[in-house]
Structure 1
Amino acid sequence: MAKKMFKRGALIGAATAVTIGFAAAPASAANVGVELPYDRGEMRFIDDGDRFTVCDTRADGHGVTGYLRALNHLTGKIVTLKSWDDGGDSGCDGGNFDVRGNTAHDMVLCWNGGGACVVSRVFKENE
């Protein structure tokens, strides 16, 4: 009986933690980031000013390329809106791009030495 009550309590506790996490997410959802494995690079979206940065964080002779994508609501296809490259120089590259309205966006970051790219979570301007 005690084991059964403990399991129920643990399940309720886990469900509560997930609910609190979802409830708290919109407050911190404005800025989004994605990182490549092995510290090869990172891409960030800073909501204040709609600024994107792409950073090559490993001096391995290969740069990184970051892509901003959006869902086209008319065709249902994902389209690339902008891309930025970084590598071979100090600092990060990037720029501004107006992320508008209720359109679903994501970021894709690729290491130019091959391998799989990484994709951020989906985000919208009005989160």
Structure 2
Amino acid sequence: MTRALSRIAAAGTATAALLIATATPALADSDITLANHRGYMTYIDSVDVFKICDENPDGHGVHGLVHEWGAGTRLHIDDGGDAGCDKAGYNIGSASYRMAFWWDGGESVLYSKNFSE
């Protein structure tokens, strides 16, 4: 009986360790990118930074918003007219957030899925 209980405990421990090992990488991989042929906006979860890049020097820039449901816009970031990309930090909490990204030249707004910490 003791031997059977030891086997069950060992199997339970191994199963728990396997579930933790396989779940951890999926949780860490939560960066989000919205992109079109004009540029992109990325949320880098590990450092709570938003990066936006205008990739088409056509006289128009790109804009992005971080919107918190029920509270409104928390961050506006844009890029265009200068070299390189722009970045801004915003501490994402447990509320539900969504990114919006668009090009000033008149294309549709792109929206991310909802996300939180």
Secondary structure in 2 matching 1:115: coil
Give the alignment partner of residue 95 of structure 1, picking from 88, 94, 98.
88
Name the SS for the 1:48 alignment partner.
helix
For the residues of structure 1 that align with 2:81 and 2:75, how far apart are their CA atoms? 20
User: For the aligned residues, what is the CA RMSD?
Assistant: 2.0
- In the alignment, which of 73, 77, 80 is matched to residue 84 of structure 1? 77
Larger radius of gyration: 2
Partner of 2:40: 42
Taking structure 1 as the reference length, what is the TM-score of the superposition?
A: 0.68
List runs of 5+ in structure 1 lacking aligned partners: 1-22, 73-77
1:94 deviates by 1.9
User: Which residue identity is paired with 1:51?
Assistant: V
Match of 1:71 among 69, 81, 102: 69
- SS of the equivalent of 2:46 reads coil
Amino acid at match of 1:112: D
Match of 1:108 in 2: 100
Structure 2 unaligned residues grouped into runs of 5+: 1-22
Equivalents in 2 of 1:96, 1:57: separation in Å? 21
- Aligned amino acid, residue 114 of structure 1: G
For 1:65 and 1:116, the matched residues in 2 are separated by 12
- Number of aligned residue pairs: give it: 95
- In structure 2, the residue matched to 1:124 is 116
- Displacement, 1:115? 2.4
For 2:32 and 2:90, the matched residues in 1 are separated by: 14
> Does 1 or 2 have the higher relative contact order (CA < 8 Å, sep 6+)?
1
Superposed displacement of residue 80, structure 1: 1.0
| Structure 2 match to 1:30 | 30
Mapped partners of 1:45, 1:27: distance in 2: 15
C-alpha distance in 2 between matches for 1:80 and 1:61: 26
Mark the CA change 1:57 to 1:64 in structure 2 (over 3 Å): closer, same or farther: same
| Percent of residue pairs bearing the same amino acid type | 34
Q: TM-score if structure 2 supplies the norm length?
A: 0.73
